Amino acid sequence: QQKIVMKVNMSSQKSRTKALKIVASANGVSFVGLEGEEKDKLVVIGDVDAVKLTNSLRKKVGHTDIISLAEDKPN
């Protein structure tokens, strides 16, 4: 499992919902959440291809950058 934090250009609630739906429908995702002061960072946990996810978000939502990619250690 890995934890991916991405900064997505989400200006409205509609684009946030769209981004969350895209990520949630991807195979291997076990958790999706928003963080950051402007709720512009998407946190994804699961066995997922970060590059494919980023590309589909870029196509459907807008500019997307991967901020961090790390192993998610269970507590």
The full set of domain ranges for the chain reads 2-71
CATH number at 2-71? 3.30.70.100
35/40 Cα distance (integer angstroms): 7
Predicted confidence at residue 48, as pLDDT, reads: 92
49/11 Cα distance (integer angstroms): 25
**What are the DSSP E strand ranges found in 1-75?**
2-8, 29-35, 41-46, 64-71
Predicted confidence at residue 72, as pLDDT, reads: 80
Q: What is the pTM of this model?
A: 0.89
What residues in the chain have per-residue pLDDT under 50?
A: none
Predicted confidence at residue 75, as pLDDT, reads: 65
Contacts of 40 (CB under 8 A, 6+ apart): 7, 8, 9, 10, 34
1/48 Cα distance (integer angstroms): 8
